Chains A and B, each alone.
Chain A
Amino acid sequence: MVALQSIEDELFLSKVSIFRGHKLIVDEISFRLPAGGICLIQGPNGAGKTSLLRVVAGFLPASAGVLSLGAHLFNPIKSILPIWYIGAPFGFHPSLTAAKNLSQIASMRNLSLPIDDSFRIKDFADQPLRTLSSGQLQRLALSQLLLRKDSYTPDLWLLDEPNSALDSYHCLILETMIEEHLRSGGRVIAATHQPLCEHLSPEIIQLEARK
């Protein structure tokens, strides 16, 4: 009798290495992420932070190593664990308005629009996306995480530099949002240069730059 995979199981990256061409970027990184856990990937430019996130997201196959959820292999594309990858480019179409872009994403994932407008999307909802500043774009991207569904599932958030263009007010909003998400059993992996959620003492994965 095989135990069924549960959404609450621990996510485990075991000795994940990534090659780009012949160059080793990420060398045997391992970490565990239980439900309600947060993990920050840090390191200088070119250390492979985004690549590692993209491996967890399933965009890039790991050159070596295993991803597992509980006792089973973790396939991000067909996983029972819903994934949100928030990193530039954000997947919005520049000639549609901000509101239109958000509502399209919502209907594609069968979600409904958030009631509370924490990231103040209303300020620029009717502007075509190409007229938005990078901070506004980031706010729009992060507000995807606020889309609601009928029954709650503890999603996995993969955030690539989530606060790089945010002002201090919205940084605070983001931290509160992450805190709430973790409290309800969600998980967060973030690649960042700036401090994020330090009061939650996240697990830190330090990547080194390779020559």
Chain B
Amino acid sequence: MILIFWEYFKREFEISISQATDILSQIGFFMWIMVLFPLALGPDPDQLKQFGIAIIWIAAFVSIVPAYERLFSDDYTHGFIEKALHNAQPLGCYAAAKCFCFYLVTTVPLLIILPLICLMIGINSSLYFEIALSLLLGMLGMTLLGGIASGLVLGARRAAILGAVLILPLSLPILIFGTMSGLALMESEPIKPHLYLLIALDLCLIVISIPAMQLGLKNAIENDS
């Protein structure tokens, strides 16, 4: 099981590298949302600091949500999911490897430019690691939600926007605990309780999402043939 997970992961990673522009444009999108907010809110540093964390989270969500549609759609149109169905391991293994790789290649670049973003909106750089940690936990949950939605809408018309409409309401708990951890950070309160809640959410989603994605993919194949 672990071996084939690793094989799927390697395949995904190679494909992601060959399509690096997708990741770059998504990061560019994130950057631009972050640039637009200070321009619209005005340059008052106190105000920016107050809204900064919330803006980072919303920008991260908004920039990533349209990308979930391509999570399974390429493999679906190219017939790879059918191929994976005949491999020895269940489809959930494929879906999990796919989500994990997607999570890494989208979140790591986000964390790389995060210091720059912190500088831009005037958040103290000593808080970087805590913010990065909460984002890392939050985006894992988001990717799993994205996987469920992407599996569900696979093969549907206008799947990207339909997926986004499905994901965003479900992402509220992640957004709330994520931004609360940031606000606690700003006011020098302990952030651990919020991080633990994020971890709990992630663990629940790991359990739910893998069978859910497996069902979604199987259903898509049946409707296709």
A interface, CB within 8 angstroms of B = 50-51, 54, 57-61, 76-77, 82-85, 87-96, 100, 104-105, 107-110
Contact = CB atoms under 8 A, between A and B. Distances in A.
Contact of B79 (A60, A84, A90): A90
B222 A91 contact: no
A14 to B, nearest CB: 20
B82 A91 contact: yes
Interface string B192-222: 0000000000000000000000000000011
B32 interface: no
A51 B225 contact: yes
Contacts, number: 70
B221 A59 contact: yes
B19 A95 contact: yes
Interface of B: 3-4, 7-8, 10-11, 14-15, 18-19, 74-75, 77-80, 82-88, 221-222, 224-225
B83 A105 contact: yes
B14 A84 contact: no
Nearest to A100: B14
Given A54-B225, A59-B225, A61-B222, A109 B77 contact: no
10 contacts: A59-B224, A87-B79, A88-B79, A90-B79, A93-B74, A95-B18, A104-B7, A104-B14, A108-B4, A108-B87
A94 B88 contact: no
